[in-house]
Amino acid sequence: MKVLVMVKQVPDTATNIQIRSDGQGIIEDGIKWVINPYDEFAIEEALRIREKLGGEIVVIALGPKRVDEAIRQALAMGADRAVVVESSETLDLAQVAHALARVAQNEGFDLILTGKQAVDDDSAQIGPMVAARLSLPQVSIVIHLDIDVEHKRLRAERELEGATEIVELPYPAVLTAQRGLNEPRYPTLPNIMKAKKKEVKRVSFESLGIDTLPRIRLIQLTPPSERPEPTILTADPVETVKTLVELLHEQAKVI
């Protein structure tokens, strides 16, 4: 099995997001960048597939220079090599999806894995768009995967609201990973050392010949509305509970 894993680098989830004064982005100074948490499940799943079935894992990422760090971590987890699409400009979702699809096409593959969404823009579009672009079937929000190599088919369980469903499909295909699919491993020291020698191929976004125009325009970013001053009750439990229920009933009128 040759598995491609599409990885995005995002601000650590502990980041306190601050908006630039022009409203066109966030202040990046001091941000710690990490692999998108859902992409880690995708990497881990690829590793488990290789352990079981053999083959190769290629990590694909897109972004500015700092993305190298995410790539190194994915390689340290155990991926074999990487392709980085270099772009210092902010690209539109469709441009990103089409660039990643082009790289995938050039590489060849049995399976493409990525996270169910990136925790920065929360768009949850790249997986299905790459699948559409490559005319491949997809399953998103996957929490369990079985592979039938003989018939080249997949059986995936995906999470819905209050239910799960089983999806059956042939591969090549695109899957997006949800928490619960597996428990991602930590890189070991020997693997971190090995990762330094692994191949990282660099291609420029321009060289891929993507002529897709931006489809979404950011007008501005704003902070969420401030929460009102809290009413904090500290007396004995019987009193505080009575007061709380009164406030919820009479002031907030929610119970």
Partner 1 sequence: MSQGVFVIFDQNQGQVRHVVLEVLTMARQLELGSVTTLTFGANASQTLKVLGEYGADQAIFWDQEPFTRYSSDGFADAIAHVVPHVNPAVILFPASAWGKDLSPRVADLIGAGLATDCLSLRVSTDNRVTAVRPIYAGKALAEVAIETPVQMFSIRPNIHKAIPDPKTPTVLDLAPVVSPDSFQSVVTERKEAQTGVQELTEADIIVSGGRGMKAPENFKLLDELATVLGAAVGSSRPVADEGWVPHSYHIGQTGKVVSPTVYFAVGISGAIQHLAGISGSKYIVAINNDAEAPIFKVANYGIVGDLFQVLPLLTEEIRALKANN
Ligand X SMILES: Cc1cc2nc3c(=O)[nH]c(=O)nc-3n(C[C@H](O)[C@H](O)[C@H](O)COP(=O)(O)OP(=O)(O)OC[C@H]3O[C@@H](n4cnc5c(N)ncnc54)[C@H](O)[C@@H]3O)c2cc1C
Nearest approach in angstroms of CB 156 to partner 1 is: 9
- The minimum distance between CB 193 and partner 1, in angstroms, equals 30
103: Cβ contacts below 8 Å, ≥ 6 apart: 60, 83, 85, 203, 208
CB of 167 to ligand X, least distance (A): 25
Residues at the interface with ligand X (CB under 6 A): 13, 37
Nearer residue to ligand X within complex by CB, 37 or 180: 37
User: Is there binding between residue 230 and partner 1 (CB under 8 A)?
Assistant: yes
Count the residues of the shown chain that bind partner 1, applying the rule CB under 8 A: 83
| Residue 9 binding partner per list partner 1, ligand X, none, with a CB distance cut-off of 5 to 8 Å that depends on partner kind | none
According to the binding rule CB under 8 A, does residue 122 interact with partner 1? Answer: yes
DSSP 44-90: HHHHHHHHHH--EEEEEEEESTTHHHHHHHHHHHT--EEEEEE--SP
Smallest separation, CB 199 to partner 1 (Å): 30
**CB under 8 Å to 237, separation ≥6 — which residues?**
none
- Taking the C-alpha atoms of residue 187 and residue 145, their distance in angstroms, rounded to an integer, is 23
CB of 13 or CB of 207, closer to ligand X: 13
Q: How distant, in Å, are the alpha carbons of 113, 123, 174, 206 from that of 171?
A: 12, 25, 8, 30
Binding mask 25-64 for partner 1 (x = CB under 8 A): -x----------xx--------------------------
Task: Give the whole-angstrom CA distance, residue 133 versus residue 120.
Answer: 23
**For the window 161-180, what string marks contact with partner 1 as x by the rule CB under 8 A?**
xxxxxxxxxx--x-----xx
Among residues 47, 131, 147, 195, the one that binds partner 1 under rule CB under 8 A: 131
Q: Which is nearer to partner 1, 65 or 215 (CB)?
A: 215
Contact by Cβ (8 Å): 110, 131: no
